[in-house]
């Protein structure tokens, strides 16, 4: 039985067609060409329909393998299976976040942080410029493939920049993810080749600060 699942109620919403047990690729909240000139139609189309889709397929295949093994009472390499599952589910969830925290430049994307988030950034980092500098350095120095993340502690509400390697290494349990930047080469190679720094610079024109602020306000209420 299929039903509509709203990932969360933000300014930007991803409506995911999902059945009760498996993942499906969400629709983007904008057209494939909408993020140009910073992310091209070709780049975004590939990223969404091939790479994000691969994590949908990968996660579902593992759940199907788990279901079958349990039904057949068969043994599995549990360690390897769980590691692989963590990779695919991490990839699936982080890409959902990434699409949500982007918007077309000048139409919700770019500019400065807003509301409570702006205050918290000033308090934690001293200024938006300092935050941008630290986040940019965090993104440019992720080893290999991974993500730069802005998150907030569930305990102290302090903001933290962290690096997730691959999709699942160096995750901070209990930290709410507010903003993500995909720095896998598959995210930028069509447009920027191996120039990750140029891609990171372009990213600031697309950040949907309204959506990120709403994430933060939701976090504060918990
Ligand atoms: Fe990606």
pLDDT in tens, 162-208: 999 999 999 999 999 999 999 999 999 999 999 999 999 999 999 99
CA proximity to 50, closest of 168, 149, 194, 189 = 189
For residue 10, the model assigns a pLDDT of 36
16, 59 contact by CB (below 8 A) = no
For residue 183, the model assigns a pLDDT of 98
How far apart CA 22 and CA 20 sit, in angstroms, is 6
CA of 36 to the centre of ligand 1 (A): 17
CA of 73 to the centre of ligand 1 (A): 35
pLDDT, averaged across the chain: 92
Provide φ and ψ at 132, rounded to 5°: -60, -40
CA of 141 to the centre of ligand 1 (A): 17
How far apart CA 117 and CA 178 sit, in angstroms, is 10
CA of 47 to the centre of ligand 1 (A): 6
CA of 111 to the centre of ligand 1 (A): 23
CA of 71 to the centre of ligand 1 (A): 34
58's CB contacts (< 8 A; 6+ apart) are 84, 87, 88, 91
CA of 72 to the centre of ligand 1 (A): 35
Structure tokens at 213: 């602020």
For residue 16, the model assigns a pLDDT of 52
CA of 43 to the centre of ligand 1 (A): 11
Residues in the chain: 222
Per-residue pLDDT of 136-157, as tens digits, reads: 999 999 999 999 999 999 999 9
CA of 145 to the centre of ligand 1 (A): 9
């Amino acid at each position: 039985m299929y039903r509509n699942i709203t990932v969360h109620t933000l300014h930007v919403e991803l409506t995911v067609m999902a059945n009760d047990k498996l993942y499906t690729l969400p629709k983007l909240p904008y057209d494939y060409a909408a993020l140009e000139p910073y992310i091209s139609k070709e780049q975004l189309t590939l990223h969404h329909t091939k790479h994000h889709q691969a994590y949908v397929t990968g996660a579902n295949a593992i759940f199907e393998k788990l279901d079958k093994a349990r039904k057949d009472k068969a043994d599995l390499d549990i360690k390897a299976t769980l590691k692989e599952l963590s990779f695919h589910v991490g990839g699936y969830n982080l890409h959902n976040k990434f699409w949500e925290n982007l918007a077309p430049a000048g139409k919700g994307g770019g500019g400065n942080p807003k509301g409570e988030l702006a205050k918290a950034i000033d308090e934690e980092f001293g200024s938006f410029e300092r935050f941008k500098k630290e986040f940019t350095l965090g993104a440019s120095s992720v080893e290999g493939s991974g993500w730069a993340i802005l998150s907030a502690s569930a305990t102290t509400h302090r903001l933290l920049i962290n690096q997730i390697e691959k999709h699942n290494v160096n995750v901070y349990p209990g930290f709410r993810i507010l903003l993500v930047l995909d720095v896998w080469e598959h995210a930028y190679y069509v447009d920027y080749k191996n120039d990750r720094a140029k891609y990171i610079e372009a990213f600031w024109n697309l950040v949907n600060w309204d959506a990120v602020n709403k994430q933060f306000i939701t976090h504060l209420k918990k």
